[in-house]
């Protein structure tokens, strides 16, 4: 499930606040997410992540989930030609956790109905691995 997101750094006295970064999820689950971006945005400490959920029906207002998260890794992927950033959710604001769970369940049901593989998908054994040595 690909969701639009924003990463907002917290203000600290005596330090310039980094800019807000926008992107989309590469992978997401109830405990965290990964995103792909053109630069490393690794930061020690907590950040705020804003996730825009897809509209569940036409005309419904878009819901935004707000979560405090910790950036757990930032690696450069030569296969993706970008940085892959991992984040662990620490705390959700309001009913954000329930909204995320409902969105994931909804997406899984759609996949179950339509099938998980497109005819052109590669098998899992053919997927690129970032940890493989360069040849």
User: What tokens were used for 4?
Assistant: 């639009």
pLDDT in tens, the chain (135 residues): 889 999 999 877 777 777 899 989 999 999 999 998 888 888 778 999 999 998 767 788 889 999 999 999 999 999 989 999 999 999 999 999 999 999 999 888 887 776 655 544 444 445 445 554 444
> What pLDDT is attached to residue 42?
83
Query: What stretch of H or E contains 104?
Result: helix 96-114
Q: Which residues of 94-125 are buried (b: 16+ CB within 10 A; e: fewer)?
A: eebeebbeebeeeeeeeeeeeeeeeeeeeeee
Does any domain span residue 64?
Answer: yes
Q: Rounded to an integer, what is the distance from CA 39 to the centroid of its chain?
A: 15
| 16 burial type by CB count under 10 A (0-12 exposed, 13-18 middle, 19+ buried) | exposed
Q: Which domain holds residue 15?
A: 4-102
For position 82, which CATH number holds?
2.40.10
Does any domain span residue 43?
Answer: yes
């Amino acid at each position: 499930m690909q969701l639009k997101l924003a990463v907002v750094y917290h203000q600290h006295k005596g330090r310039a606040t980094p800019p807000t970064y926008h992107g989309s999820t590469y992978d997401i689950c109830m405990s965290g997410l990964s995103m792909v971006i053109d630069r490393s945005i690794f930061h020690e400490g907590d950040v705020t992540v804003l996730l825009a959920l897809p509209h569940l029906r036409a005309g419904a207002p878009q819901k935004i989930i707000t979560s405090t998260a910790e950036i757990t890794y930032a690696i450069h992927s030569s296969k993706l030609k970008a940085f892959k950033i991992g984040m662990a959710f620490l705390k959700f604001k309001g009913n954000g956790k329930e909204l995320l769970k409902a969105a994931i369940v909804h997406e899984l049901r759609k996949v179950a109905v339509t099938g998980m593989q497109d005819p052109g998908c590669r098998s899992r054994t053919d997927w690129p691995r970032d940890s493989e040595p360069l040849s």
